[in-house]
Amino acid sequence: MWDFLNLFSVPVLETSIRLATPLLLACLAGLFSERAGIFDIGLEGKMLIAAFFSAAISFNTGSVWLGLGAGILASVTLSIIHGLASITFRGNQLISGVAINFLAAGMTVLIAQSWFKQGGRTPQLEGAARFNPIEFPFAETFMPVPVAGPVYASLIGGHALLVYVAIAMVPLTWWVLFRTRFGLRLRAVGENPAAVDTAGVSVVGLRNAAVLICGVLCGLAGAYLATALQAGFVKDMTAGRGYIALAALIFAKWRPWYALAACLLFGYLQAIALRPDLLTAAFGFKVQIQLLDALPYILTVVILAGFVGKAIPPRAGGAPYVKER
């Protein structure tokens, strides 16, 4: 019994939240883009380049805020390229995304090697060059209280600022998409751009706005990876998180609150994969780590196949909009 409850102990859940944060930010980034009809498989690349520039500039200036700005700027630059390819030149959005992922994977190592000469990584970040955990008031005092104490100290409190930003982004995204005129138009442009165009609203403008928002959110995700979750950039540090975020987006059927749930679930799977001993104790046999690694992808394929509820993407997704002449 206790062995089973250990799977949901405070440290495991705390790790889940930390690992879910970059997924959540990237997932919401993809949500904006795909709701506007622009497929984005370049989430991975944008996170990666943001991770590098945030770590590099944080290290050079000693200020994590400047690092965050640089990370967002780098990610937005890639977003602009994606917008140029898929909106302005009506190219294939998927191919553009693939190119962006490779561009980021190559450029980060190239620049890191040229700047720091440490084999494609940045030096360790310390102090003000990182987003440090925020201690909640009286956390120490309440610590001895059973359950509630540790939950207050390290599950609710004790995270880096960007964790709270990510969670706050969920209601904000919901509000923007479903309660503002901009959101209504943005969703419309992903379903039926011709109708939006007929109403006299710029399809190109809306889609570019969505792609830029996507860039900013991916920038936050990457900066969180390099300056909060870890202390510096290492080669390929996103490690497929952009694709897991994409999977979470499908799992959530392109809706913000479901995205939070999906990312927490996938974050939990990542967290539990770090503690195979707990799994063995709980179930009495050895659970393969590889199965846990593959689980988000398998679940997504099952959802996509429509065996457990149907995931229907925005109708105009992936198709460039050609104005009638």
Contact flag: residue 21 with other proteins (CB under 8 A): no
Return the C-alpha torsion angle 16, 214, 256, 254, nearest 10. Answer: -110
What would the two tokens of residue 297 be? 């992808």
Could you say which of 8, 102, 178, 283 contacts other proteins (CB under 8 A)?
Answer: 102
Nearer of residues 3 and 293 to other proteins, judged by Cβ: 293
Q: What would the two tokens of residue 63 be?
A: 């200020």
From residue 72, alpha-carbon distances to 65, 255, 259 in Å are 11, 24, 22
* 69 is a site residue for other proteins (CB under 8 A): no
Under rule CB under 8 A, residue 319 binds other proteins: no
Q: Does 138 sit near other proteins (CB under 8 A)?
A: no
Element (H, E) at 301: helix 289-304
Choose the binding region for other proteins from 13-21, 68-76, 86-94, 225-233 (rule: CB under 8 A): 86-94
Is 87 a binding residue for other proteins by CB under 8 A? The answer is no
Spatial distance between the Cα atoms of 71 and 81, rounded to a whole number of angstroms: 16
**Tokens encoding 138:** 């009286």
- The answer to whether 46 and 78 are in contact (CB under 8 A) is yes
Count of residues interacting with other proteins (CB under 8 A): 47
* 276 is an interface residue for other proteins by CB under 8 A: no
Per the listing, tokens 């506007």 go with 36
Three-state secondary-structure class, residue 181: helix
Rule CB under 8 A: is residue 210 a binding residue for other proteins? no
According to CB under 8 A, which one of 100, 129, 189, 237 is a site residue for other proteins? Answer: 100
Rounded to a whole number of angstroms, the distance between the first and last alpha carbons of the chain is 69
The answer to whether 228 and 65 have CB atoms below 8 angstroms apart is no
Under the binding rule (CB under 8 A), the answer on residue 274 touching other proteins is no
Nearer to other proteins, 10 or 304 (CB): 304
- 3 state SS of 287: coil
Return the residue of 7, 66, 73, 103 that touches other proteins, per CB under 8 A: 103
Task: Give the residue with the Cβ less far from other proteins, 54 or 300.
Answer: 300
301 contacts other proteins (rule: CB under 8 A)? yes
> Does 49 contact other proteins by CB under 8 A?
no
Of 48-56, 200-208, 243-251, 275-283: span binding other proteins (CB under 8 A): 243-251
Q: Which stretch binds other proteins (CB under 8 A): 58-66, 106-114, 148-156, 277-285?
A: 106-114
CA distance 258 to 264: 10
